Amino acid sequence: MSWVTKTLSSSLGRKLIMALTGLFLILFLTGHVSGNMLLFKGDGGEAFNIYAKFMTTNPAVKLLSYLTYISVIGHVIYSIVLSQKNKSARPIGYAESKASTSSAWNSRNMGVLGTIILIFLVVHLQGFWAKMHWGEVPMVTYGEEEYKNLYLIVNEAFKQEWLVALYVISMGFLGFHLSHGFASAFQTLGLNHKKYTPAIQAIGKVYSILVPVLFAAMPLYIYFTS
């Protein structure tokens, strides 16, 4: 199996891992934003809380969640390894550079954008995900069954202006990261074709605006309605 480790430690193998984990995280974001749209339902959080229980107890979702954790960790670790390799490939930089004339800012700063998103992710997980799994969450009863009232936690959290601001700004960074990452992942996989690439690029641009805007709308909606 030495060919497997050899491939995965080559520059192309590392990029392959970045692309695959990135694309899986895009799938995750799609599911995450779709489910969280229940926050807009205006039913006092009933649908959202039922959904939250399903997402934390269903075995199939559990498997997907482990894949998500692996993808996040893999994406981060390989980005660090690749960034260090890439930095060491040019030990002495240029005194004058007009890089902006030949490439987009976000494409050159995926590491910076990713680091900001990672910091946001820590705050985000600590605020909701960790609370839902191990924290004290008040219970609520719908019909016969008891549910953790995650909706209440979300509502309380987004009464804080600074947190709403942090979420909205972070989604801006996520948008820039996705607007390069989406199409870039397909290019890395070797999927570049004159029939499909324009469509992939267009979908990537729409996705990188739509998903962060929907995510950012959630704290804003709660802040202004509660």
Partner 1 sequence: MKLTLKIWRQKNASDKGGFVTYPVDGVSKDMSFLEMLDVLNEQLTEKGEDPVHFDHDCREGICGMCSLYINGKPHGPLQTTTCQLHMRSFNDGETITIEPWRAKAFPVVKDLVVNRSAFDRIIQAGGYISVRTGGVPDANEIPIPKTIADLAMDAAQCIGCGACVAACKNASAMLFTSAKISQLALLPQGQVERKTRAEKMVAQMDAEGFGACTNTGACEAECPKGISITNIARMNREYFSAVVSSDNV
Contact residues for partner 1 (CB under 8 A)? 2-3, 7, 10-12, 14-16, 82, 85-99, 101-104, 107-108, 110, 180, 183-184, 187-192
Per-residue tokens: 37? 């749209």
Q: Encoding tokens for residue 178?
A: 């996705």
Closer Cβ to partner 1, 56 or 83, answer by number: 83
- Inter-helix orientation angle 11-36/197-225, to 10°: 40
Comparison of 21 and 149: residue with beta carbon closer to partner 1: 21
**Least CB distance from residue 177 to partner 1, whole Å?**
12
The SS3 assignment for 212 reads helix
Nearest distance in Å: CB 110, partner 1: 6
Measure CA 23 to chain center: 10
E strand intervals along the chain? 139-142, 145-148
Helix-helix angle 46-57:150-157, to 10 degrees = 110
* Residue with smaller CB distance to partner 1, 31 or 190: 190
- How near is the Cβ of 113 to partner 1 at its closest, in Å? 12
Q: What angle do CA 197, 201, 207 make, to 5 degrees?
A: 140
Which of residues 12 and 63 has its CB atom nearest to partner 1 in the complex? Answer: 12
Shortest reach from residue 87's CB to partner 1, in Å: 8
Q: Which is nearer to partner 1, 108 or 133 (CB)?
A: 108
Rounded to whole angstroms, the Cα distance separating 200 from 23 reads 13
Nearer to partner 1, 60 or 89 (CB): 89
Minimum CB distance to partner 1, residue 140 (Å): 47
SS3 63: helix
Q: Please give the structure tokens belonging to residue 26.
A: 């895009």
Question: Rounded to a whole number, what is the distance in angstroms from the first to the last CA of the chain?
Answer: 57
Q: How far is the CB of 29 from partner 1 (least distance, A)?
A: 20
